[in-house]
Amino acid sequence: MSNSPFNLENKTAIITGGASGIGAATAELFASVGATVHVSDIDLKACQDRHASSEFADKIIVHHCDVADKASVDAYVDAVLAAGMVDILFNNAGAGMVGRIEQTSEEDFDRLYNVNVKGVFHMTSALMPHFLERKAGNIVNMASICGVIGVPDRFAYCMTKFAIVGMTKAMAMDHAKDNIRVNCICPGRIATPFMLDRINEYPDPEAIRADMDASQPMGRMGEPEEVATVALYLASDASSFVTGACESVDGGWFAG
Ligand SMILES: NC(=O)c1ccc[n+]([C@@H]2O[C@H](COP(=O)([O-])OP(=O)(O)OC[C@H]3O[C@@H](n4cnc5c(N)ncnc54)[C@H](O)[C@@H]3O)[C@@H](O)[C@H]2O)c1
């Protein structure tokens, strides 16, 4: 067994929104360092297809879960706990929306709130009794640069990601003495379908891509694997004295 603090051998992780992008890359990375990974997505087929050919497929178990639906979350968590103990929860699933308040309907507001905020609430509520009973747990929440600064045209999305930063810090305080660490990740623009599909909806995708690259001082978008490594840092003993943190992965955006 490796002595690396990044080693996840004998650990079990839950990852939501793992059919693509950051969640899929993180599932692969966690499995590559020894974890058993129960990955889920609202799109079960896409999740199965994404992980079936993985080099680490034997360590990755795929489930259906809509994080906005409490019954779906409870069924997922029950199935995972029936298989054994859980060490790590990565609340990664998320929905996006471009628009100011005047372009945001109540349905839009509720949709983003239900996936991004209530999704984290449902998943973490379902796992917290297990973590408390074990006196051990590690929660990593997916926030965003939009959770620490206001980004133009992202009214509802910013609302949800600021809420995730708030939930992260509140839970970190509440459970600091329970050996349960709670941190979040604040990526800038990352080249996943979440970002790239939206760019392709604009009349001039190349110009938009150049703008989006330029919003990061490093002049490019990040790659999902560059976020997955930060998730591994937070989920592993490498960050054993870190709780309540918001880790920027944004090519310097938040520093400016
Ligand atoms: N890509 C970026 O630029 C960026 C930046 C900051 C934060 N984020 C956050 O990272 C997370 C992952 O996004 P990504 O960029 O990898 O996008 P992605 O589109 O590649 O992956 C998101 C996954 O979440 C799933 N999903 C959506 N709604 C769900 C639900 N209700 N229940 C379960 N799964 C659901 C989707 O099916 C998809 O597979 C999101 O929370 C997003 O807000 C992304």
* One domain for residues 53 and 164: yes
Q: Is the pLDDT of residue 150 over 70?
A: yes
* One domain for residues 198 and 232: no
Interval 93-113 mean pLDDT: 97
* One domain for residues 213 and 165: no
- Give me the number of domains the chain comprises: 2
The range of the structural domain enclosing residue 17 comes to 12-187+224-244
The rounded mean pLDDT for the chain is 97
Long-range Cβ contact pairs of 43-46 (< 8 A, separation 24 or more): 43/19, 46/19, 46/20
pLDDT of 102 reads 98
* One domain for residues 204 and 236: no
* One domain for residues 199 and 84: no
Identity of the amino acid at 78: D
- The structure's pTM equals 0.98
Q: How far is the CA of 157 from the centre of ligand 1 (A)?
A: 12
Interval 81-107 mean pLDDT: 97
Question: Would you say residue 141 lies in a domain?
Answer: yes
For residue 167, which of 123, 104, 231 has the smallest C-alpha distance?
Answer: 123
* One domain for residues 232 and 158: yes
Is 157 in the active site?
yes
Question: Would you say residue 46 lies in a domain?
Answer: yes
Give me 83's structure tokens.
């298989």
d(CA 227, CA 231): 6
Question: Would you say residue 4 lies in a domain?
Answer: no
- The predicted-structure confidence for 2-22, as pLDDT tens digits, reads as follows 899 999 999 999 999 999 999
Question: Would you say residue 2 lies in a domain?
Answer: no
d(CA 167, CA 173): 10
Give me 60's structure tokens.
């990755």
Split at pLDDT 50, 70, 90, the class of 198 is confident
* One domain for residues 73 and 176: yes
DSSP assignment letter at 190? B
* One domain for residues 194 and 161: no
d(CA 50, CA 68): 22
Question: Would you say residue 250 lies in a domain?
Answer: no
* One domain for residues 161 and 210: no
Identify the residues whose C-beta falls under 6 Å from ligand 1. Answer: 16-17, 19-23, 41-43, 65-68, 92-96, 115, 142, 144, 187, 189-190, 192-195, 224
* Helix or strand run (H / E) with residue 9: none
Interval 195-200 mean pLDDT: 88
pLDDT of 249 reads 98
Question: Would you say residue 7 lies in a domain?
Answer: no
Buried b (16+ CB within 10 A) or exposed e, 135-161: eebbbbbbbbbbbbeebeebbbbbbbb
* One domain for residues 42 and 112: yes
Question: Would you say residue 157 lies in a domain?
Answer: yes
* One domain for residues 135 and 196: no
Can you say whether residue 248 is alpha, beta or left, with left for phi > 0 and alpha for psi between -120 and 50 degrees? beta
Give me 51's structure tokens.
């992980």
Q: Whose CA is nearest to atom 17 of ligand 1?
A: 194
* One domain for residues 147 and 99: yes
Question: Would you say residue 26 lies in a domain?
Answer: yes
- The predicted-structure confidence for 204-223, as pLDDT tens digits, reads as follows 999 999 999 999 999 999 99
Interval 117-145 mean pLDDT: 98
Tell me the percentage of the chain whose pLDDT exceeds 70: 100
Split at pLDDT 50, 70, 90, the class of 1 is low
